[in-house]
Amino acid sequence: MRHTSRRLLAFGPAALFATLVAAVLLISCRYAAADDFSSGYKIQRGDALSIYVYGEQDLTNVYSVGSTGTIALPMVGTLSVADKTLQEVRGALIEKLADILQQPYVTVGVIESKSARKIFISGYVTKRGAMSVPAGGTVRDAVVAAGPAERADLSRVRLTRAGQQTRELDLRGLRDDHPLGPPLTLSYDDVIYVPRIDDVISVLGAVAQPGVLTVPQDERLTVLEAITKVGKGFSEDADVTSALLLRKGLGQPIKIDLRALLDDGDISQNHELRGGDVLLVQKADRISIVGMVTAPTAFHSREPVPLVEAIIRAGGFNASSDAAHAMLYRDGKYTEVDLEGLWLRGDMSNNIQLRAGDTLIVPEKAPQEIVLLGPLTINGVMSISDVRNPTLLKVVINAKPQPQADLRVVQVYRDDEHFVRNLKKIEDEGDMSQDMLLLPGDVVVVKDAAKVYIIGAFGKPGTYPYDPDKSLFDYITEAQLGGGFGHSIGFLVRVLPDGETQTVYIDLSKLKWGILPEHEDVQPGDIIYFPPVPEKGKGIWDYVREGLWLFDIVDRLLN
């Protein structure tokens, strides 16, 4: 049976006019903050809506818009509000309340200070992780607030939104005069990833100041300019007869005759550099260890030096080393060397002997981060650089799923692709086809399992996993209904498939004669509520509403 109430407003004309004037003054003061929001503002998930219904304390409150885009009001039920204007929500509330109240007076505003429009940002920014954005906040606002790092590639900023394909945005205009496109407004739980600029030129070896330079927009950079601008000239022990240009996609390095360029003016040796190029000025008769090592070095040795010893001389690898893809240059050729196998797994077959003139280059590894969302103990941005073979199952288990995590529906968003995996099948059936290897930039979303919410005068109120074999009385018994409840009548609140709210009475008055309440099936998402001893000025719906906020029911009722 449905629980409703009807309250009639009876006023004489003069009294009604005076009351309305007072109400308007009260509302104009109480909700002045709503004036900051234009009539065309569309409500977002995470907004805090201030709803005032004249003469109805049970309905007047602040309601948070959850991830489903809905709010839940006493006597009204669940109301979809996301992407609607304040006036549209006000009209919908008046229409629903017209069956209960005579001439309901309603105002709807947004309380910015209580709104929590949460998004996540990761990648090459100074402040990574969860971020709250103001009303109307855009992707460019979030990127500016997070602080792009020096090597942030603002031309390929990625936005991932649940249920949609990943979008790529060009925000170079935040740094220079490149035109910015129309602003894109953020939504609740959006994920922004700022990648790294790979179009950099590295100048290494026997120069005064080894370093890297981002390729200037629409500018030309040559070998000599790179040596002077980035390297600040040659070092004292530089071999000025030749240099090497290592370029992606080429099987062999380009040998540059520096003597012909410097002494004879042979401009054919002054190559134009591209993003990703490495210009290496060698040291005369030295073994050089350069790149992502703790202390790049060059040393003279009459005898061959084992590779392990050379790495130790360079102080070992640093946190950015891609040891699995090191390059050895020797006799005009370079080959890939797996230093990771040598250094970490002790594969001595890679412990080759270095000799004078050899150069070992340790490159920088690409960023290794994913984003985890859902009922997990570890949530937000997670590095997988130290996780060997980072599969979906391994990462989710290491993130410590909470009891409500539904491992039957785990989603992975990757660029324009969307994968759904059932990790329970791996546990129950050994179906390893449900696992997958995660890649940097992936967004993993774990759904909540079906549950039952028990609030009010119970010894153990809280969220209980849904069990189809449990009866209503089983749940009440498990939650330990205490002696402090003020009524023998409780309620089962249920959200119906059409979004309406149904309230069913639970009568425990005959328990003292050993008579159980009428049988009522419990369904996922149900709320079982028994009111405590009433406090002055608080009604039944006050307690229900407080319980809803306590267990975050609004965010999850329709999931």
Q: What structural domains and CATH numbers belong to the chain?
A: 13-114 (3.30.1950.10), 117-194 (3.10.560.10), 197-284 (3.10.560.10), 292-358 (3.10.560.10), 369-448 (3.10.560.10), 451-556 (3.10.560.10)
Q: Is the pLDDT of residue 524 over 50?
A: yes
Q: Where does the pLDDT of residue 247 fall: very low under 50, low under 70, confident under 90, or very high at 90 and above?
A: confident
User: Is residue 247 within 8 Å of residue 276, measured between CB atoms?
Assistant: yes
What are the beta bridge partners of residue 492?
504, 528
At residue 34, the 3 state secondary structure works out as: helix
The token duo for 36 is 């900051």
User: Is residue 46 within 8 Å of residue 117, measured between CB atoms?
Assistant: yes
The token duo for 232 is 């600040």
Q: Specify the pairing of strand 359-362 against strand 417-421.
A: unpaired
pLDDT for 475-511, tens place per residue?
888 887 654 444 567 888 775 644 456 778 787 776 6
d(CA 11, CA 450): 47
At residue 308, the 3 state secondary structure works out as: helix
User: Is residue 349 within 8 Å of residue 307, measured between CB atoms?
Assistant: no
The token duo for 63 is 């309601």
The token duo for 545 is 């509403």
In terms of DSSP H, where are the helices of 135-233?
A: 139-146, 223-229
Of 444, 428, 345, which Cα lies nearest the Cα of 394? 444
User: Is residue 206 within 8 Å of residue 298, measured between CB atoms?
Assistant: yes
d(CA 317, CA 320): 8
If you average pLDDT over each of 170-174, 206-210, 344-348, which comes out highest? 170-174
pLDDT for 428-444, tens place per residue?
888 888 899 998 888 88
The token duo for 378 is 């570890």
> What mean pLDDT do residues 371-395 have?
82
Q: Mean pLDDT, the chain, as a whole number?
A: 77
> What mean pLDDT do residues 462-469 have?
78
